[in-house]
């Protein structure tokens, strides 16, 4: 698991190095990267660099094989194609670092922070490092082999095409991470968190996901063969019926089929319409909590004020639907077509709408006169909206606190008096928007204007 040999001789194995020497080595490395024929590739093999600050440094192709980097600061560091074989990165801070193509075999990142980091095509398979002994022989100083990601935090990290087979990531946090085509064969992911993660094309064969939380994750074309899913939370996850029938989902917590409601959808809609029109005197409110509706025809449907929390609506067509005041809290709406839909006053907090189409949708506040005049703002707090299309949408007075709007298309949208406190806006297209009176306190990232 990338752990250290605990023999008494280990204190002499890691070379103590001073800041001055480290800076000189990095200066030579800079010349090496400049490809001028001068300089030398930096090697910190078996050095003790604990608590060193490498934030923002250009560390491409550096040799960090076998050193101690415990509690080191590597925020925004460029570690592309670096050699981190059997590196000890316990509790290191690699926030927004770029490790694409890096060799992480046998590395230990227990408790490390890699939020918003880029780890495309990293190799974190098993690895054992040996060092030369005093008599010229080789001694194993890292053993167990598997990369150790236990309790690591990699929220919103990009791990596409990463090789993580046989790794140990118990209680690791991959919330909203991009994990397309990741290889997690035989990995131990017990109690890990993958809420809203994009696992399209991932290999999860023989993985242990017992008690893990994958609520709202995207799992298209995932290989589930032999996976252990005891008490795994897959609520809000769209899984095709043919995959469910063959996969190892018997002990997982899944969204329920529409058949479990005990009524036909057309009857549910009719009863709901009567319930709305009569103020609850006749009919019955549509309650479709945690129901898989991903393959049900819903274009233009009237489910205003319906309960759709944790429902699966992924890739469905709800264009022109009436969903004002509906409860879609934590619903999975990835890739869903909401163009021209009425979502005024709807509850969409922590919902997943990655890649959804909300062009010309109505998400502004809703004025209600029921004896007492009330205004209900559309709630998108903490919603996952990366890559969503909001062109021409009305979002005036909407609550987008902490929402993930990375790469979203907001061109021509009305965001007047909306609340965007702490929202992620990196790469969002915000040309020709209306934003008068909006609260932009603490926004994260640079939108495109």
CATH of residue 409's domain is 2.160.20
Q: What number is the average pLDDT over the span 81-90?
A: 95
Give the pLDDT confidence score for residue 373 in this predicted structure.
54
Name which of 155-169, 252-266, 359-373, 402-416 the model is least confident about: 359-373
Instruction: Report if residue 296 sits inside a domain.
Output: yes
Instruction: Report if residue 2 sits inside a domain.
Output: no
Q: How confident is the model at residue 128 (pLDDT cuts 50, 70, 90)?
A: low
- The domain containing residue 380 runs over which residues? 259-449
Instruction: Report if residue 410 sits inside a domain.
Output: yes
Instruction: Report if residue 290 sits inside a domain.
Output: yes
Q: What angle do CA 177, 377, 428 make, to 5 degrees?
A: 40
User: If 0-12 CB within 10 Å is exposed, 13-18 middle and 19+ buried, where does residue 15 land?
Assistant: middle
Does residue 7 carry a pLDDT above 50? no
Strand 15-16, strand 373-376: pairing: unpaired
User: Tokens 């997982």 identify what position?
Assistant: 252
pTM (global) more than 0.75: yes
pLDDT in tens, 240-263: 888 988 889 999 999 998 888 989
| DSSP at 257 | P
Instruction: Report if residue 336 sits inside a domain.
Output: yes
Q: Which residues of 221-237 are buried (b: 16+ CB within 10 A; e: fewer)?
A: ebbbeebbbeebbbbbb
Strand 130-132, strand 138-140: pairing: antiparallel
Name which of 174-183, 207-216, 242-251, 415-424 the model is least confident about: 242-251
* Sign of the alpha-carbon dihedral angle for 99, 97, 20, 89: negative
Give the pLDDT confidence score for residue 279 in this predicted structure.
86
Instruction: Report if residue 126 sits inside a domain.
Output: no
Instruction: Report if residue 321 sits inside a domain.
Output: yes
Does residue 136 carry a pLDDT above 60? no
Q: Give the CA distances from residue 59 to residues 44, 186, 274, 343, 373, in Å, rounded to whole numbers and listed in that order.
A: 11, 31, 65, 48, 60
Beta bridge partners of 327: 307, 347
Considering the chain, what is the average pLDDT of its residues? 91
What phi and psi, each to the nearest 5 degrees, are found at residue 139?
-120, 140
Give the pLDDT confidence score for residue 393 in this predicted structure.
98
Instruction: Report if residue 204 sits inside a domain.
Output: no
Beta bridge partners of 367: 375
Please give the biggest Cα pair distance in the chain: 90
Give the pLDDT confidence score for residue 129 in this predicted structure.
60
* Sign of the alpha-carbon dihedral angle for 144, 148, 150, 151: positive
Distance CA 129, CA 142 (A): 5
Name which of 119-123, 168-172, 367-371 the model is least confident about: 367-371
Does residue 385 carry a pLDDT above 70? yes
| DSSP at 50 | T
Does residue 138 carry a pLDDT above 70? no
Does residue 321 carry a pLDDT above 80? yes
Strand 138-140, strand 142-143: pairing: unpaired
- Number of structural domains in the chain: 1
Instruction: Tell me the percentage of the chain whose pLDDT exceeds 70.
Output: 92
| DSSP at 369 | E
What phi and psi, each to the nearest 5 degrees, are found at residue 161?
65, 15
């Amino acid at each position: 698991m990338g752990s250290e040999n605990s023999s008494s001789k280990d204190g002499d194995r890691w070379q103590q190095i001073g800041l001055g020497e480290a800076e000189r080595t990095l200066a030579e490395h800079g010349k090496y990267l400049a490809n001028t024929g001068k300089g030398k590739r930096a090697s910190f093999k078996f050095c003790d660099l604990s608590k060193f600050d490498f934030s923002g440094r250009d560390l491409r192709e550096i040799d960090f094989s076998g050193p101690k980097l415990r509690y080191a600061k590597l925020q925004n560091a460029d570690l592309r194609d670096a050699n981190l074989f059997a590196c000890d990165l316990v509790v290191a801070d690699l926030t927004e670092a770029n490790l694409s193509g890096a060799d992480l075999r046998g590395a230990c990142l227990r408790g490390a922070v890699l939020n918003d980091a880029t780890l495309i095509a990293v190799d974190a398979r098993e690895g054992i490092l040996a060092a030369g002994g005093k008599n010229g022989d080789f001694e194993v100083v890292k053993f167990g082999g598997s990369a150790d990601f236990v309790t690591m935090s990699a929220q919103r990290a990009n791990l596409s095409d990463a090789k993580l087979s046989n790794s140990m990531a118990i209680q690791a946090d991959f919330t909203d991470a991009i994990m397309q085509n990741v290889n997690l064969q035989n990995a131990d992911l017990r109690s890990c968190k993958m809420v809203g993660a994009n696992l399209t094309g991932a290999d999860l064969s023989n993985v242990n996901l017992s008690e893990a939380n994958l609520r709202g994750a995207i799992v298209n074309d995932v290989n589930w063969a032999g996976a252990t899913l005891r008490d795994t939370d897959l609520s809000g996850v769209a899984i095709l019926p043919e995959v469910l029938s063959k996969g190892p989902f018997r002990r997982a917590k899944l969204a329920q089929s529409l058949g479990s409601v005990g009524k036909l959808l057309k009857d549910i809609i009719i009863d709901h319409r009567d319930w709305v029109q009569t103020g609850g005197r006749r009919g019955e409110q549509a309650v479709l909590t945690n129901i898989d509706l991903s393959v049900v025809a819903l274009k233009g449907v009237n489910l205003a004020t319906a309960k759709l929390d944790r429902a699966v609506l992924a890739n469905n067509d709800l264009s022109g639907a009436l969903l004002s005041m509906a409860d879609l809290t934590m619903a999975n709406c990835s890739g869903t077509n909401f163009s021209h839909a009425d979502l005024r006053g709807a509850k969409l907090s922590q919902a997943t709408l990655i890649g959804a189409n909300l062009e010309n949708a109505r998400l502004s506040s809703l004025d209600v006169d029921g004896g007492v005049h009330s205004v209900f703002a559309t709630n998108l707090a903490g919603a996952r909206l990366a890559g969503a299309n909001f062109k021409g949408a009305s979002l005036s007075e909407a609550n987008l606190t902490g929402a993930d709007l990375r790469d979203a298309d907001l061109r021509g949208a009305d965001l007047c008096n909306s609340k965007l406190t702490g929202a992620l806006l990196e790469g969002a297209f915000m040309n020709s928007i209306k934003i008068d009176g909006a609260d932009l306190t603490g926004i994260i990232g640079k939108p495109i204007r």
